[in-house]
Amino acid sequence: MKRSVVGQTWRCTAFTILAIFLTACSEPLVEPRAPRTPTAVIDRYNAIVATAEAGEDLLARARAYYDRGNIWFDQQNYTEAIADYNRALALDPSMSRAFHNRGLAYAMLKEYDAALRDYALAIHLDPDYRRAYENRVRLLEELTVSRPDETLLQQLADDYGSLARLIPTAEAPYRYRQGLILARLGDRTAAREAFDAAIRAQPHHVDALYERALLHYASGDLDAALADLDAALRLSPRAANAYYVRGLIRRAQGDARSAIADFGQALLLQPAYPEALIARAATYAEQGNMTAARADLQRLDDLQLDPTLQQAREALRLRIGGSG
């Protein structure tokens, strides 16, 4: 009896230890990120720098500083990294990679203007320096969210264009992004050329088709806009916003019936779609179908609207005489 109790206790303890051991093993055993350079490595690079300083070869000395800068960078000591890149560049001002890496270090320190200056110098020295473009694009994308400066946006559009040239397999997405930025800048012609290029590179690029349709619509070429939207909708028949825009274009063409059908399809796919509701109500009102217009207006009251849509709703309300 006593032996049995001791045995059970022993087994329970063993299983508990096993369970704790397994819990410790539950963390991923393979990290996707490469391990940081061990701090001790820097000593080796200090030695290399010391050796290079003792020699006469300025380029070798610059290379030693650059390499140690990279180690500092890898250890996230960006200030030391910048100091070494400075030393390297003082010895060899043609080191595009040192400019690039210094730019990256400045970006990590949130000194964005300095980062952009260094990226520009790196690209000036090496116009096909893809990584410099990629990192500058990443920084510009981040900056233009809070600082929609025209110069920055134009730079971003140009960089997308350069990346599309440098990476032929990614031409379509980069051209598409370039088109979006150019459209945002109001350069419709250049934006359309960018979307054209994106569609040439990838004929099924539905986003480029849609955005090009908007450009056609804005410039008054309603037939071209419809053609692009039709093509986009053949590929993406569940895209509610494409139906909505097609409805607006058909309404502008005077085809109220088709417009109402398109707005209806958009609402079928996305029932809480205030723009489609307002557009359909306005079209109904123009057709004299006030009952249907008021029904849509009433549905709008249940939706959260931003200030622009609130104004559109009020304009609609005044037009169809709804209460409110």
Partner 1 sequence: MPDRLRARIAWFAGALGILILGSGLLLDSVTQWRLHLLAGLWLISLPARRLIGQRGATAHRSLRGLMLMAVLGFSAIGLQLARNQVTRSEATLRAVAALAQPVATEQPQPVFPETDPAERTSLGSGRTFPVVINAGARGRILDRNGVVLAETIDGRRTNPALGHLIGFQSRLYGTTGLEARFDAQLSGVATLSPTAILEARLLGSSVEQFPADLTLTLDTRLQEAAQQALGERAGAVVLLDVPTGAILAMVTYPRFDPNQLVLPEPATQADVDRVQAAWAELNARSDAPLLNRATQGRYPPGSVIKTLTAAAALDSGTLADPLAPVTCPNLLPTEAGAPPVRNAVDNLFRRTGDPSDLVRVYAFSCNTAFAQIGLSLGADRFLEYARRFGLQTADTRSGPPDLRDIPAEVGTIANEASFLQRPAALADTAFGQGQALVTPLDMAQLAASIANEGRLMRPYLVAEARAGERVIYQAQPETLRQVVSPETSQRMLSIMRTSVEIGYAQPIALPGVSIGAKTGTAETPRGIPHSWIIAVAPVEQPRYAIAVIVEYGGEGSRSALPVARQVLATALGVTP
Q: Which residues bind partner 1 (CB under 8 A)?
A: 10, 14-15, 18-19, 21-23, 25-26, 28-32, 34, 97, 130-131, 134, 163, 167, 169-170, 173, 180, 184, 186, 204, 206-207, 209-211, 214, 217-218, 232, 235-242, 245, 248, 251, 269-270, 275, 278-279, 281-283, 308-309, 311-316, 318-319
Q: How many CA atoms lie within 13 A of 293 on its CB side?
A: 21
Judged by beta carbon, residue 38 or residue 237, the one nearer partner 1 is 237
Eight-class DSSP state of 148: -
The minimum distance between CB 186 and partner 1, in angstroms, equals: 8
Task: Identify the sign of the CA torsion 165, 168, 171, 173.
Answer: negative
Rounded to the nearest whole angstrom, what is the least distance from the CB of residue 34 to partner 1 in the complex? Answer: 6
Please say which residue, 55 or 237, places its beta carbon nearer to partner 1.
237
Smallest distance, Å, CB 155 to partner 1? 19
- Give the nearer residue to partner 1 in terms of CB position, either 140 or 316: 316
Nearer to partner 1, 147 or 204 (CB): 204
Tell me whether residue 52 or residue 312 sits nearer to partner 1 (CB atom).
Answer: 312
**Cβ at position 158, least distance to partner 1 in Å:** 17
| H or E element, residue 101 | helix 96-108
> Could you tell me the two tokens for 118?
């260094």
Give φ, ψ of 261 to 5 degrees: -65, -40
**d(C-alpha 174, C-alpha 195), whole Å:** 10
CB of 290 to partner 1, least distance (A): 14
Which is closer to partner 1, CB of 83 or CB of 269? 269
CB of 32 to partner 1, least distance (A): 4
Angle at CA of residue 99, ends 96 and 101, nearest 5°? 105
Q: What is the smallest separation between the CB atom of 68 and partner 1, expressed in angstroms?
A: 15
Q: Which lies closer to partner 1 via its Cβ, residue 55 or residue 148?
A: 148
Residue 57 CA to residue 91 CA, distance in Å, equals 10
- Is residue 72 helix, strand or coil? helix
- Name which of 50 and 219 has its Cβ closer to partner 1: 219
The contacts of residue 262 (CB under 8 Å, 6+ apart) are 243, 244, 246, 247, 250
Cβ at position 88, least distance to partner 1 in Å: 15
Among positive and negative, which fits the CA dihedral 183, 186, 190, 192?
positive
Residue 168 carries which DSSP code? G
CA distances from 215 to 120, 192, 194, 279 (A): 31, 7, 12, 20
